[in-house]
A = this chain, B = another copy of it.
Amino acid sequence: MDDKIITLSHGSGGKLMQELINNLILAEFGNTILNRLDDSAVFEIRDENKKMAFTTDSFVVDPIFFPGGDIGKLAVCGTVNDLSMMGAIPKYLSAGVIIEEGFAIDDLKKIIRSMKQTLKDANVRIVCGDTKVVNKGHCDKIFINTSGIGIIDKSVNISASCAKPGDLVIVSGSIGEHGVCIISEREGLKFKSPLKSDCAVLNGLVKEMLKVTGAVHVLRDATRGGLAAVLNEIAELSKVGIEVQESAIPVKSSVKGACEILGLDPVYMACEGRLVAFVDKNKAQDVLRFMRNDRLGKGAKIIGKVVGKHKKEVYLNTIAGSDRILDMPIQEQMPRIC
């Protein structure tokens, strides 16, 4: 690995690819399952009293390094979080990497080490992977797909279709930081109080929340399309109406300020370390208490409730005192946010 840049031969199935795998991938991610280098990872799922969760996500974020994270951290967080949102304990991840010819191997190392640290934070392992190299100009730097497998206790039944009238809506922390951070970096905007992505693994927080038996009906991380998209998806899938108090939604002043300058709305801005939970109203205070045991749940707030009327619609009670429909985003606010 004396090379400084990725060449097409690093993706050829030949000697250089073997070197890349041995000297970088296995050196960082190595474990008894991955090291076998078979066509599939093989493992046992011992306890039969479980369900399995399986998810996939491709990451194309631009820039690939940003305050609070990078594409590698994001790729692990995104899939760990998607598993966590089903109440699953994330176990095994795959990593499929597409690299542009000429990409700096030092940058690849940085990304891989960042993935390694995030895997450690989440207590998961990468057990299989794939590397492709495409000609210069055929992709932009690096794209990473992670898929993941998790185990769900059979008593857990969480789904975006499980919201019920009366449920309270909790958001785990201030919204929009990831999206605003990425667009600011891309546009070269500088703010007094620096913006940082909220990118984080949420499995520890979910573990705390699940200690309140049967309280959590829905969990979803507010990624593309932000809080507004997630609430609309849940209203649609659960066939319920949702009412949200704008004044209750936690938004950092730096995010508010940047959104004003950019003509964007924080409720549509992506988060990568925030979840929305729909919980039994009688257990909401217990859930909040447990959430605050985790660093990522300290800023958790109740922001609204599920109602019997205006099914499949989300209403925002604005700070100004009026009610308006909070719709799905129609236009792209920004591409390559994750």
Chain A residues packing against B (C-beta within 8 Å) = 7-9, 11-18, 36-46, 48, 51-60, 62, 81-83, 85-86, 88, 92, 94-98, 101, 127-130, 132-135, 137-140, 143, 145, 147-150, 152, 159-161, 219-221, 223-226, 229, 233, 237, 270, 328-333, 335-336
Query: A83 and B52: CB pair below 8 A?
Result: no
Query: B52 and A95: CB pair below 8 A?
Result: no
CA distance A222 to B139 in the complex (A): 26
Per a CB cutoff under 8 Å, which of B37, B57, B133, B225 touches A335? Answer: B133
The listed residue with most B CB atoms (<10 A of its CB), out of A13, A14, A132, is A13
Query: B149 and A149: CB pair below 8 A?
Result: yes
Query: B56 and A130: CB pair below 8 A?
Result: yes
Per a CB cutoff under 8 Å, which of B42, B57, B98, B161 touches A36? Answer: B161
CA distance A237 to B38 in the complex (A): 9
Per a CB cutoff under 8 Å, which of B43, B53, B127 touches A40? Answer: B53
The listed residue with most B CB atoms (<10 A of its CB), out of A145, A150, A221, is A145
CA distance A250 to B18 in the complex (A): 27
CA distance A101 to B83 in the complex (A): 29
Q: Which residues of B contact A7 (CB under 8 A)?
A: 332
Query: B224 and A13: CB pair below 8 A?
Result: yes
What are 18 A-B contacts defined by CB distance under 8 Å? A7-B332, A13-B224, A13-B270, A14-B332, A40-B82, A41-B54, A54-B127, A55-B128, A56-B94, A56-B96, A56-B129, A56-B130, A58-B96, A58-B98, A138-B139, A139-B139, A145-B147, A147-B147
CA distance A40 to B82 in the complex (A): 6
Q: Which 6 pairs from chain A and chain B are nearest by CB?
A: A13-B225, A13-B224, A56-B94, A147-B147, A14-B329, A40-B55
* Chain B, residue nearest A237 (CB): B37
Per a CB cutoff under 8 Å, which of B38, B41, B223 touches A160? Answer: B38
Known: A37-B237, A54-B149. A12 touches B134 (CB 8 A): no
CA distance A44 to B95 in the complex (A): 24
CA distance A82 to B96 in the complex (A): 14
Known: A13-B229, A332-B12, A335-B133. A86 touches B40 (CB 8 A): yes
Query: A40 and B150: CB pair below 8 A?
Result: yes
Query: A58 and B145: CB pair below 8 A?
Result: yes
Per a CB cutoff under 8 Å, which of B42, B94, B140, B225 touches A14? Answer: B225
CA distance A92 to B129 in the complex (A): 17
Query: B39 and A147: CB pair below 8 A?
Result: no
Q: Which residues of B contact A138 (CB under 8 A)?
A: 60, 62, 139-140, 336
